[in-house]
Structure 1
Amino acid sequence: MSQSIILPVSYIQIAIRELSNKGITAEQILEGTELSVHSLQEDDYISLDQFISVILNTRKLSNNPAIGLLLGSILHPSTHGSVGWAAINSPTLSDAINIFQRYSQVRTPFILYTTLTQGNQYIIRLTLTDNLKAAHTIFIEAMLMLLQHIIEFILGRPMTEASLYMNSFTPSYVDSYRKYFHCPIHFNSGHLEIRLPLSWKDTPNPNADKHMYQIALEQCQEAHHQLQRNVNISTEIYDYLSANLSHSPTLKHTAMHFGITPRTLIRRLKNQHTSFQKIKDDVYAFQASSYLRRSTITIDTLSVIFGYSDPANFRRSFKRWFGISPQEYREQQTEILKKH
């Protein structure tokens, strides 16, 4: 499983609100996830593993095997953020589905959307790209319900002429499928897909707001760009610290520079098996060794360049990085150069 996958906390907040009506507390839902009500308010995203744990908790606590269908039924497109807003304001039905194809990574990076045309059918195929463990079915059911909501929002009526194909066995709660979905359902299929009449593909969206569509589309593009930065945030931080050696940025200042909270930065780096301090040590160790090998600058001056108010502190840091003092390192490197 990709360790860098992150998901919006809004989905978790919906589950908490729904189950609170049944006397189930947020603390129970978050058990075993290292999450708290406070962290959900402070952070925008959680890891995929945490998300899976929460979803499995909701199924266990609710004692409802159809919890995926229930949660999906209350997912308004706006819950899907800019992706949802762009979809419900798209000019046509196919434009709405294209939004999911292009920007699914922003909200549900574990699902790949593909569209096909076969005969007189317009097919929306879903493929899972990550192992969702025991939560697999719950995720799929919720996303299919969301797609039904958007399709029917544009059609202005139930999608009774459509067909849903599930690449899984018929569940014990199959009656719930018939309750929530408005079209025939076929299990044990080779693919997971919704098949629509081809004539629906270019159905104009009577609710489309051109201005809102453009705004949401720009937000999708920005969110996608930001996601790419988040995936590579350790590299971004490395470059940022390298460019600001003398300022010796703190975790708080670095998080502020990237427009996130310190807690979020810590979590995202943890997902990449690193930490702010480790990256900072790597940057400073590399830069210090480079200065000592390639220049005759004094060690006291070097400590100032690196933002140390006391040269003794720089010497201690250097010894922690390399096991020897800066002077010993310089002499060692000088000897190596003489031999070559």
Structure 2
Amino acid sequence: MTPRQFPLAIHYVRQIAEQIADCGGDVAQWLALSGLTRAQIADPAFELSFERFRQLVRDGLDTTREPALGLLVGDRLTASAHGMLGYAAMNSGTLRQAIDLVQRYLPVRTSLVTVRLAASGRSMRVLFEEVEPLGELRVVVLEAVILTIKNMIETVCLGTSPVEGIAFPFPAPAHADLARALFKADLAYGTSWAGFAIPLDLIDTPLRMADPAAFEDARQICQRELDKLTRQMSLAARLRRLLLDRQGGYPTLTVVARLFNMTPRTLHRRLVAEGTSFREVLDDVRHTLAMEHLKSSHLSIDEIAYTLGYGELANFRRAFKRWEGLAPSDFRRQARRD
């Protein structure tokens, strides 16, 4: 497989580097473990693969021996650290406009998570959802992203916090007390969602920093960047994202071709030109999700097979043995021992 396309503002990697230095780590040595240099991460045009980013985070945790690395990085990311997205947010007319902006244009800064809004009683939940399973990066990434966006919202509100509470879909970590101190809000762990809630009666309140002209100028720049990113994304990457979004009800090649406004033959030919095929991308998505479900979910193996679109459990077992060389049940037992 070729390295997975992974839009991520390199500025965030520099922030991780600065935090590692603050923790007493050797940044040059940390970068060298992933085959990188300071000059590369200083280049605004430098692009990381997801695999290399994963290695950087792993090595960062090992180098600093700081399990709260994500929190510390998230806390240092001010609204201005998010470039034009942060500038547009600071000029928003209402909280709803600011959050809608983040929801639409966060992919310009990172493709690790997406943002979705959902009404819940008298609150609006701001949900952060993994584009694909983050695995061992989950705690680090969700803590960093949710904290920095929560801090951005407070900046938009001139320091006052409209956030009612923070939710994380993993058990309370050893550094939960530090998390509470940095979030300055009630935290709930082991929830079914990740994000925070804002009272509905505040969501459309006019903001004092609003500047409609500056907001629109910044929004248009964000839109141009999003359009450019979409054009540059390979067809295989677009297909992968679509399949991850539709997990459990995977569309056929014919349906995907229609969604991408091309014929099935053209879709097949372009995927072959990129060195892959519809079947290979779907197989890789199922492989990724199967391992994550077996490691972290409480679904039975039958339920996982159904979720991944296998009509017969035996077909899932054969596929998994091809991927990992052992049965799903053996993989789950081994993962739980580790």
Q: TM-score, normalised by structure 1?
A: 0.65
Query: 1:161 offset after TM fit, Å?
Result: 5.7
Matched residue SS, 2:196: strand
Matched residue SS, 1:46: coil
Partner of 1:309: none
For structure 1, list consecutive stretches of 5 or more residues without a partner in the other structure.
Answer: 235-271, 275-340
Partner of 2:30: 29
Query: 1:218 offset after TM fit, Å?
Result: 1.2
Query: 1:74 offset after TM fit, Å?
Result: 0.4
The answer (yes or no) to whether the contact 2:7–2:107 under 8 Å persists in 1 is: no
User: RMSD over aligned Cα, in angstroms?
Assistant: 2.3
1:185 equivalent in alignment to 2:187:
yes
Query: 1:273 offset after TM fit, Å?
Result: 6.2
Partner of 1:146: 148
Matched residue SS, 2:40: helix
1:8 equivalent in alignment to 2:16:
no
Matched residue SS, 1:127: strand
CA separation in 1, counterparts of 2:196 and 2:17? 29
Amino acid at match of 1:125: L
The answer (yes or no) to whether the contact 1:82–1:220 under 8 Å persists in 2 is: yes
Cα shift readout 1:114-165 (whole Å, capped 9, x = no counterpart): 1112221111111101232311111110111112112211223442761111
1:171 equivalent in alignment to 2:163:
no
Partner of 1:290: none
Matches within 5 A, 1:242-257: none
Cα shift readout 1:230-255 (whole Å, capped 9, x = no counterpart): 21399xxxxxxxxxxxxxxxxxxxxx
Matched residue SS, 1:30: helix
1:129 pairs with one of 125, 128, 131: 131
1:38 equivalent in alignment to 2:36:
no
Cα shift readout 1:182-207 (whole Å, capped 9, x = no counterpart): 21111111111211111121122212
Amino acid at match of 1:187: Y
CA separation in 1, counterparts of 2:98 and 2:62? 34
CA separation in 1, counterparts of 2:275 and 2:136? 24
CA separation in 1, counterparts of 2:10 and 2:98? 23
Query: 1:111 offset after TM fit, Å?
Result: 1.0
CA separation in 1, counterparts of 2:64 and 2:224? 37
Q: Moved runs in structure 1, 4+ residues, more than 3 A?
A: none
Amino acid at match of 1:146: T
CA separation in 1, counterparts of 2:201 and 2:117? 14
The answer (yes or no) to whether the contact 1:164–1:186 under 8 Å persists in 2 is: yes
Larger Rg: 1
Partner of 2:71: 69
Cα shift readout 1:198-230 (whole Å, capped 9, x = no counterpart): 112112221233332122111111111111122
Matched residue SS, 2:48: strand
For structure 2, list consecutive stretches of 5 or more residues without a partner in the other structure.
Answer: 237-273, 277-338
Matches within 5 A, 1:1-340: 3-42=4-43, 43-159=45-161, 162-232=164-234
Cα 1:146/1:273, change in 2 over 3 Å: farther
The answer (yes or no) to whether the contact 2:8–2:47 under 8 Å persists in 1 is: yes
Partner of 1:262: none
The answer (yes or no) to whether the contact 1:159–1:182 under 8 Å persists in 2 is: no
Partner of 2:261: none
CA separation in 2, counterparts of 1:220 and 1:103? 7
Amino acid at match of 1:209: D
Cα shift readout 1:267-307 (whole Å, capped 9, x = no counterpart): xxxxx669xxxxxxxxxxxxxxxxxxxxxxxxxxxxxxxxx
Matched residue SS, 2:8: strand
Q: When the two structures are aligned, how many residues end up with a matched partner?
A: 237
CA separation in 2, counterparts of 1:208 and 1:108? 25
Identity %: 24
Amino acid at match of 1:65: P
CA separation in 2, counterparts of 1:57 and 1:82? 30
Partner of 1:299: none
Cα 1:90/1:161, change in 2 over 3 Å: closer
Amino acid at match of 1:152: E
The answer (yes or no) to whether the contact 2:162–2:198 under 8 Å persists in 1 is: no
Cα shift readout 1:66-92 (whole Å, capped 9, x = no counterpart): 111110000012222222221222111
The answer (yes or no) to whether the contact 1:52–1:132 under 8 Å persists in 2 is: no
CA separation in 1, counterparts of 2:164 and 2:198? 5
The answer (yes or no) to whether the contact 2:168–2:188 under 8 Å persists in 1 is: yes
